[in-house]
Amino acid sequence: MSERSEIVRDRTVRPTGAVFLTVADVLAEAAVQQGEPDVIVGGAALEAAVRWVHVSDSVGVARLLDGGELLLTTGAGWPVDDAELRDFASSLHRAGIAGIVFELKTARQAVPQPVVDVCATVGLALIALTHEVKFVAVTEAVHHALIAAQTQALRERQRLHELFTALSLQGAPADVVVSETARALGAPVVLENLAREVIATEGLGMPIAEVLENRGTAETVPVQARGARWGTLLVLPGPAHPAGRVTVLEQGATALAFGCIADGGDAEWSLLAQRGVIDDLLGARFAKADDIDARLRAGGFALRGRRCHGIVARGNGSISELAYRARQAGFAVMAARVDRDDVALLSVPASAGLSDEVLLRIAGPDRAVFVGPVADDVIGLLGSLRAARDLADSDRADAGARVRRVDDRPLERLVATLRDDHRLHEHSERMLAPVVAYDRERRGDLLDVLAALVAHPGNRSAAAAASHLSRSVFYQRLTLIGDLLGADLDDGETIAALHLALLARRRTDTTGLTPPA
């Protein structure tokens, strides 16, 4: 039999629902500092949780401990044999104590080396007090601090209960619950469905791509109730919370579960996730492409190696049905209602086509579909979606089942590509300024007349009809426009320049964004 006892790292399981201090917190107490503590084994060991303080010099103290105690001792009753000291120190570790505070000079001049060796091996905090202190003062201070922490925890749990109960009663959407949970914890929080698709996330300033990459380090609780599970709520590493991080996360998960019960399931989650991605994409000048790409991938939407388009469906229809039909067709989709239109991102296999028939089947009956150019990255997808929306905004035709593509409108595509170029907007303002001023001062309709003219080049009868004016009045308006601009409206180059100016102006008006200087 070996004279050296085997040292193992198994410990008594400590209670997880209680409120703790750490060994480092105890060391900071004034009653301990009076003993001028010398940390012999510290580092990560100082973060061990302390739920109580126990004073004993007995060699059999281990059997009296439940785990989480900080042992105060002079070592007076400890064995003197090295092997017995190692066995004794190992028994304290197996009992799950938080650490040992050893007062020197009362019974021993130094901490026995075998005890130091065991503590260093297993990572058990060991502190030597170089001056005598009153152990009763230490226990009193620590117990007072523990009670204060427990009181704070109770107050914080009550506050959180009231917060999440209010969110549940108000029917707060999942993204609001996730944001409140993250703010309460001071750490990024992610909500996933059962397929591990990201429904909502709050990074608290951390890039979303980084949040999603670090999900493997997160603490998790299920979102479930009444035997049904809808997903998982995760929190990344962060600061300790008085009520306990898992407790806070459970409160958030309970509020989310109540929402699922009230809504009859998690169907709203999918729409929420897709709306969040599209909102992020449309606000891409304020977001990072990497973050949006991470959100897309987390939702099962692939860009690389696929043919991706932004589309707009106009007319009566359901956004959830559009998304369902797109998936039935074998496409990845992100869809949301934006203003009066259904807006969607489609990821199509490179080998598959996106015919008019397929688009109309996805959009639903009697709807117009506007299709942006193909894209294979986030910036391209943003351009495709914006171009599709711009094309829809420029459409003056009656409603009905039809497909219009930006690729079939080269000037539309050019303006979409140059939409943030200040020179394009300067051209628009400079060329149209007299007409804009006239309409503003007289509440005129010259811009509408000009738009009808460029929309029907070579067919002024159709242009007059589109303007809802008689041909004679329409021609009078054209003459006035020509005089104001000092331009020949029969000249093809002039018409092309005016068409470009009108498209650029409409993009500024419909987006509400100021062109960059």
Residue 398's closest CA among 314, 470, 454, 461? 314
Q: How far apart are CA 34 and CA 192, in angstroms?
A: 50
Structure confidence by residue, pLDDT tens digits, 441-476: 888 888 888 888 887 777 888 888 878 888 888 889
- pLDDT score at 450: 87
Least confident of 18-22, 25-29, 164-168, 370-374: 18-22
Arithmetic mean of pLDDT, 346-360: 86
pLDDT beyond 80 at 139? yes
Which residue did the predictor score with more confidence, 57 or 298? 57
Q: How far apart are CA 272 and CA 255, in angstroms?
A: 16
Least confident of 18-27, 43-52, 497-506: 497-506
pLDDT beyond 60 at 428? yes
Arithmetic mean of pLDDT, 411-415: 62
Range list of β-strands (E), 65-107: 69-73, 99-103
Which residue did the predictor score with more confidence, 115 or 269? 115
Give the tokens for residue 406: 């930006």
Mean pLDDT value across the chain: 83
**Collapsing DSSP states into helix, strand and coil, what is residue 338?**
strand
SS3 for 455-489 is: HCCCCHHHHHHHCCCCHHHHHHHHHHHHHHHCCCC
Q: How far apart are CA 271 and CA 292, in angstroms?
A: 17
Structure confidence by residue, pLDDT tens digits, 92-133: 999 999 999 999 988 888 999 999 999 999 999 999 999 988
Least confident of 98-107, 339-348, 392-401: 392-401
Which residue did the predictor score with more confidence, 7 or 502? 502
H helices of 95-207, where? 113-122, 135-169, 174-185
Which residue did the predictor score with more confidence, 399 or 229? 229
